[in-house]
Amino acid sequence: MNRPAIFSRSSLSRRHLLAGTAFGAAALAAPAILRAQPAPVKIGLLHPVTGFLAFSGQQCREGALLAIEAINAAGGIKSLGGAKLEPVLGDAQSKPEVGAAEVEKMNEAGVAAIVGAYASAISLATTQSAARYGIPHIVDVGVSDQIVQRGLTNTFRFCPGYGVIAKIAIDNLVALNDAAGKPARTVAIVHEESLFGTGTAQLLQKELPARGFEVVEVAKHANPTRDFTNVVLKLKALAPDIVIPANYYNEYVLLARTMRQQGVRPKAIYSVLGGAASSFKFVKEFPDDAAYIMDCNHWYDPRKAEALELRRKAEAKGLYYTYEVFLAHEAVRLLADALERAGSASRERIVEALATSSWDGHFMPYGPTRFVNGQNEGARPVNTQVLNGTIEVIFPAEFASARPVFPMPRA
């Protein structure tokens, strides 16, 4: 009876000893860790997550949060001793004045920078408010070029504006048409009535005639438009070779479906910033409507593993991998890179670091960042086409994953 007792006692004491050492070590180490753990860097994520832009706003927020999660998991900002990023969430409620009010709150919450605000109208208000406090503001999506033309030194846009997008869209359209032996000559533009659709359509309308295309129809429509039959009937009568939609998701889907219902089949549906044309949701839910649709839009470089990894992560969270997700994600990483190089969470230092940024760690096809007046000069859109139930890149040639199918086959 003794032996087991002694044995057990000794084993107990042994365990105690071990536990004691571990505890002791932890106790000794704890203050050191506490001391080494630097204050987190607060990042304002400001998006319209309620109201009529809620879908896009939520997608942006999720993308940005995924980036923060990944950066923190990888050890935070190294030059700040592994400081973690701490998101400060804001809801612009799809209204510019609420967005501006959120900036005030973020300023007082002590954010080092703001990433937002999806819509151009809201971004104009938030960048202006943030400028008052010198808060660096990365615009994640807003495509209006006015955002970066107001002389605000705190404002940076990573993605292209509609000026560049319209230009490249036309260049690629010409290349596409030339390569196929110029089968297309007439174009109809169908665009939504707000800033991005109207602005894009105006640029296209001005530029296309100079490049040998005749614009036979420009149809502007409201959001929401309940029925597209009229537009489609006109398209049927005019029979343009190419239809260019520039609108939001819901209207895009209705338009594409109505075209199919009415048997309108142009040589190409070539969207510029098409709300659904390069959306996995559209391709999955309406594969027949989506087939062969081309889009000139924000798109990642499919050669980059991180881009595909993010798609997997987003889909694991039940999200569609839309442009909002990866643009907001990369906007946060751009900021993290600036923090890394600034070695400081001070707003001026971050602005400086962004202005002189030459970051090439991203997965967008932009090359190293180079900001001129806040606009990333290398930013450009990509042309995609829905082929065999998935979205393939058809331009630029250096990372195209498929050859364009143009004109699209008669069903």
Partner 1 sequence: MLEPSILAASLIHGLANGAVYALVALGLSLVYGVLHIINFAHGALLMAALYAVYFLVERVGLDPYAAIPILVPAAGVVGYLLHRYVVAKASRGREEAVLLVTLGVALVLENLALALFRSDTRTIETGWAFEMVAVGPALLPAAKLAAAAGALVAVLALWAVVRATDLGRAIRAVAKEREAARLVGIDVDHVFALAFAIGTATLGAAACLLLPTYYVSPQVGHGFVLIAFTIVVLGGMGSFWGAFWGGLLIGVVESLGGLFLGESLGQIGIFAIFIATLLLRPTGLFGRAV
Partner 2 sequence: MRSLPAIGFFALAALPLPWLTSSGTVLNLATMVLLFATLGQAWNLLGGMAGQFSFGHAAFFGTGAYATAIAQIRFGLDAWSGFALAILAAVAMGALVGFASFRFRLRGSYFALVTLAFAEVARILANSLEITGAGVGLLLPLAPGLDRLQFADKAGYYWFALVLCTGGLVLASLVRESRLGARLAAVRENEEAARALGVDAFAVKMQAILLSAGLAGAVGAFYTQLFLYLDPHIAFGPQVSVEALLGPIVGGTASLWGPVLGAAVLQLLGEASRALTGGATGANLVAYGIVLVLIVRFFPDGIIGMGRARAADARGVTG
Interface residues with partner 1 (CB under 8 A) are: 50-52, 54-55, 57-58, 193, 219-222, 224-231, 233-234, 236-238, 249-250, 253-254, 257, 260-263, 281, 285-286, 320
Residue with tokens 């050191």, as numbered in its chain: 32
Q: What type of residue is 53?
A: L
For partner 2, which is the closer residue by CB, 15 or 150? 150
How far is Cα 125 from Cα 223, in angstroms, rounded to an integer?
22
Least Cβ distance, residue 43 to partner 2 (angstroms): 14
d(Cα 364, Cα 304) in Å, to the nearest integer?
8
89 binds partner 2 (CB under 8 A): yes
Q: Which range binds partner 2 by CB under 8 A, 2-10, 49-57, 229-237, 348-356?
A: 49-57
> What tokens were used for 203?
């640029």
Q: For partner 2, which is the closer residue by CB, 129 or 177?
A: 129
Q: Spell 247-260 as b/e; 16+ CB within 10 A means b.
A: bbbebbbbbbebbb
Is residue 182 involved in binding partner 2 (CB under 8 A)? Answer: no
Question: Residue 375 has which token pair?
Answer: 């606009």
Q: Answer with the entry of partner 1, partner 2, none that 225 interacts with (C-beta below 5 to 8 A by kind).
A: partner 1
97 binds, among partner 2, partner 1, none (CB under 5 to 8 A by kind): partner 2
Alpha-helix runs per DSSP H in 74-160: 96-108, 120-132
Site for partner 2 contains 58 (CB under 8 A) = yes
**Residue 6 CB, nearest approach to partner 2 (Å):** 58
Residue from the set 69, 104, 178, 288 that interacts with partner 2 by CB under 8 A: 104
Q: Among 49, 204, 273, 325, indicate the residue that binds partner 2 (CB under 8 A).
A: 49
**272 and 169 in contact (C-beta within 8 Å)?**
yes
Q: Which does 121 bind (CB under 5 to 8 A by kind): partner 2, partner 1, none?
A: partner 2
Among 7-15, 127-135, 231-239, 347-355, the segment contacting partner 2 (CB under 8 A): 127-135
- The interface mask with partner 2, positions 200-219, x = CB under 8 A, is --x-----------------
Q: Do residues 330 and 307 lie in contact, with contact meaning Cβ atoms separated by under 8 Å?
A: no
Burial class (CB in 10 A: 0-12, 13-18, 19+), 45: buried
Q: How far apart are CA 258 and CA 268, in angstroms?
A: 16
Nearest CA-CA partner of 355 in 141, 94, 201, 153: 153
Judge contact between 399 and 302, C-beta under 8 A: yes
Short-list 135, 275, 130, CA closest to 197: 275
Binding-site size, partner 2 (CB under 8 A)? 37
Q: How far is the CB of 182 from partner 2 (least distance, A)?
A: 32
Compute the Cα dihedral for 367, 402, 164, 200 and give only its sign.
negative
CB of 230: closest distance to partner 1 in angstroms? 4
* Binding flag, residue 42, partner 2 (CB under 8 A): no
281, interface contact from partner 2, partner 1, none, CB < 5-8 Å by kind = partner 1
Distance between CA 224 and CA 68 in Å, rounded?
A: 34
Are residues 77 and 41 in contact, defined by beta-carbon separation less than 8 angstroms? yes
Pick between residue 130 and residue 235 the one whose CB is nearest to partner 1: 235
Instruction: State the residues that interact with partner 2 by CB under 8 A.
Output: 49-50, 54, 58, 89, 91, 93, 95-97, 100-101, 104-105, 107-108, 121, 124-125, 128, 132-133, 144, 146, 150-152, 192-195, 197-199, 202, 220, 222
